[in-house]
Amino acid sequence: MTYLAVRDGCVMPFQLTKLEVFSIINACPTSTVELYLLVENCDERLQEEQVEQIVNLVAMHLQH
């Protein structure tokens, strides 16, 4: 999830705020629990499948 991936719409379907996207880029969550801490009202805004998709996108695009 580099800047280009964000720009090209990699995370657009999830309707994340800019702050949430940058927090995800900086923190590189490796589990759904970590992602829940970064996305405000995550359980209300995203389905579990979407949360897992984001974690998988982080794993594919961000390697720390």
Tell me the pLDDT of the chain (64 aa) as tens digits.
Answer: 555 565 556 777 888 988 998 899 899 999 999 999 999 999 999 999 999 999 998 888 776 5
CATH topology of domain 3-61: Growth Hormone; Chain: A; (1.20.1250)
In this prediction the pTM is 0.82
Cα Dmax for the chain = 29
Separation between Cα atoms, residue 51 and residue 20, nearest integer Å? 13
